[in-house]
Amino acid sequence: MERSMLGIRLSDKQTLKNIRAKTKIVDVIKKTKTLKWRWTGHMWRSKTRKWTKDITEWYPRDGKRRRGRQIKRWEDDLPKGWRSSARDRIIWKCLEEAYVQGQPD
């Protein structure tokens, strides 16, 4: 879509990085990962008891998922030890870029 906005064909061999620099369109996947990372840190640092924290920690008793449900849980994307590092805002902010850049889709 971005190529068609600029009138560029595949045969022109323009890199996606150059095209994004011209169109200034934000990568949706990176944006959603950034928002998820920031919201997780905000939720975990909260002192009050909220249902979002309860839902994140909750596991079904039988440990299985119904048919048609995703295999991965919401927190499976996060690195191990994220709960302890989320409490420290400075460390959490430093880890954000590594999470967004380094994780495959």
Tell me, what DSSP letter sits at residue 25? P
pLDDT tens, 15-69?
888 888 888 888 888 888 888 888 888 887 887 777 777 766 666 666 666 777 6
pLDDT at 59: 65
CA gyration radius, the chain: 19
pLDDT at 96: 81
Distance CA 58, CA 31 (A): 26
61 within 8 A of 55, measured Cβ to Cβ: no
pLDDT at 6: 85
| pLDDT range class, residue 104, cuts 50, 70, 90 | low
pLDDT at 68: 73
Beta strands in the chain (DSSP E): none
Distances (CA, A) of 74 to 2, 25, 84: 30, 26, 17
Tell me, what DSSP letter sits at residue 26? P
Domain range annotation of the chain: 27-102
Q: How many CB atoms lie within 10 A of CB 35?
A: 11
Q: Which residue has the tokens 């850049």?
A: 101
- Residues with Cβ within 8 Å of 52's Cβ and at least 6 positions away in sequence, in order, are 43
